[in-house]
Amino acid sequence: MEFRARGRLGCPQCYEVFRASLEPLLEKIHGGTQHVGKAPDESSAVDRSRERRLLELRRDLQTSVREERYEQAAKLRDELTRLEAEDAAAAVAELAEELADELTLSEAAGTDVPGDESEESEAADEDR
C-alpha cells in the first residue's frame, strides 16, 4: 500500500522480495531496471556541443547577411546544410535500426509485424 501512495517501498529488502513484480514496472517506466547514475552520458554532452555549434553558425549567418558579406554567408549556409544533413541521416539510421529491432522481436515472438498486410491481402484475394 505504501508503494502505491508514495512510489517507494519500505526498506531495501522489500525491493528484493518484490523484485519479480517490480522489474516489469520499472522497465516500463524507466526503460530499464539498472540504475546508471544521475550524470548525463557523454553522448548528450556531444549533442549539446553540436547544438551550440549549429546555433553559432546560424547567428554568424544572420550577421553575415545583415552586413552584406554574402561570400561568408554562403560558406556558413553550406556548413549548416552539411551538418543538418548529417543529423538527418543519423536520425534516419537510428529509426531504421529501431524498426529492424522491432521486426526481429516480432518475428522471434511469432507475432504479426506492423504494416505487413501481405498475408491478409492474399487471403482476401483468395476469398473473392
The grid coordinates listed for 111 are 507475432
32-37 contacts at long range (C-beta below 8 A, 24 or more positions apart): none
Q: Please state the pTM of the whole predicted model.
A: 0.46
Q: How far apart are CA 128 and CA 124, in angstroms?
A: 7
115 band by pLDDT with thresholds 50, 70 and 90: low
Q: How far apart are CA 85 and CA 48, in angstroms?
A: 17
| pLDDT at residue 117 greater than cutoff 60 | no
State the average pLDDT over residues 46-61.
89
Q: Domain map of the chain by residue range?
A: 1-35, 51-106
71 band by pLDDT with thresholds 50, 70 and 90: very high
